[in-house]
């Protein structure tokens, strides 16, 4: 893979959002608003909220997950830095792998970039294995292609087991748009 530079801007990107602490649905909605407020970024679409069991470390509350499709003038590294800053602002602590979290923001896809360098691998290396990413991703972008792996729909198996939409009024509310200059 190459270094994570390039791409004509603005770029299309997909971000996974997840939480299982401190009113998780509210945390995901607040994080979506923070994502929309990033400079030179706007939310194009957002999935429903989905409830699912934890992966990896099972002794923790269930998660609320969603995916947002954004357009941004931030570089891939700039966007990752912004996502990490949002996590920090929400009080995210990284005590151990797969630990409970107030918010988790993962950069899934950035344009058609395939790369691996310090701190950033694109596309997200495990996204194609996770129903809690694929189901909301395909809801908002049914034709999306995972760079280097092919259509996302080809990776969705019967792994929907344990993934349930959460009833809310999220779709009824307009997305808060950031400024794409």
Which pLDDT tens digit goes with each residue over 119-169? Answer: 899 999 999 999 999 999 999 999 999 999 999 999 987 555 567 788 665
Phi, psi torsion values for 8, nearest 5 degrees: -65, 140
- Whether 81 is catalytic is no
Active-site residue identified among 106, 112, 117, 168 = 106
Q: Over the Cα atoms of the chain, what is R_g? A: 15
SS3 category, 28: helix
- To the query of whether residue 92 is one of the catalytic residues in this protein, the response is yes
Q: Report the length, in residues, of the chain.
A: 181
Residue 94 among the catalytic residues: no
Mean pLDDT of the chain: 87
pLDDT value of residue 33: 96
| Predicted confidence (pLDDT) per residue in 70-112, tens digit | 999 999 999 999 999 999 999 888 777 878 899 999 999 999 9
Q: Which of 1 and 51 is assigned the larger pLDDT?
A: 51
Q: Report pLDDT for 96.
A: 78
The CATH fold assigned to 11-159 is Alpha-Beta Plaits (3.30.70)
3-class DSSP state of 125: coil
Look up tokens 């679409």; give the residue: 45
Residue 174 predicted with pLDDT over 80: no
- CB within 8 Å of 73: residues ≥ 6 apart: 9, 10, 11, 39, 40, 41, 180, 181
pLDDT in the model for residue 173: 42
168 carries an active-site annotation:
no
Name the active-site residue from 42, 46, 101, 130. 101
The mean pLDDT of 19-39, rounded to a whole number, is 95
33 or 7: which leads in pLDDT: 33
Q: Which of 42, 46, 104, 130 is catalytic?
A: 104
Examine the pLDDT at 20 and tell me if it is beyond 60: yes
Parse the chain into domains and list their residue ranges. Answer: 11-159
């Amino acid at each position: 893979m190459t270094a994570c530079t390039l791409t004509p801007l603005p770029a299309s990107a997909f971000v996974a959002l997840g939480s299982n602490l401190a009113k998780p649905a509210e945390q995901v909605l607040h994080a979506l608003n923070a994502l929309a407020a990033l400079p030179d970024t706007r939310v194009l679409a957002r999935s429903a909220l989905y409830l699912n069991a934890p992966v990896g470390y099972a002794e923790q509350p269930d998660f609320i997950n969603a995916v947002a499709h954004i357009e941004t003038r931030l570089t891939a590294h700039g966007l990752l830095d912004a996502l990490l800053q949002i996590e920090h602002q929400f009080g995210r602590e990284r005590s151990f792998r797969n630990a409970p979290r107030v918010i988790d923001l993962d950069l899934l896809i950035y344009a058609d970039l395939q790369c691996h360098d310090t701190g950033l691998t694109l596309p997200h290396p495990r996204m194609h294995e996770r129903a809690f990413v694929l189901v909301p991703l395909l809801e908002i972008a049914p034709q999306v292609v995972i760079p280097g792996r092919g259509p996302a729909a080809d990776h969705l198996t019967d792994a929907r087991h344990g993934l349930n939409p959460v009833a809310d009024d999220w779709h009824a509310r307009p997305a808060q748009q950031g400024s794409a200059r």
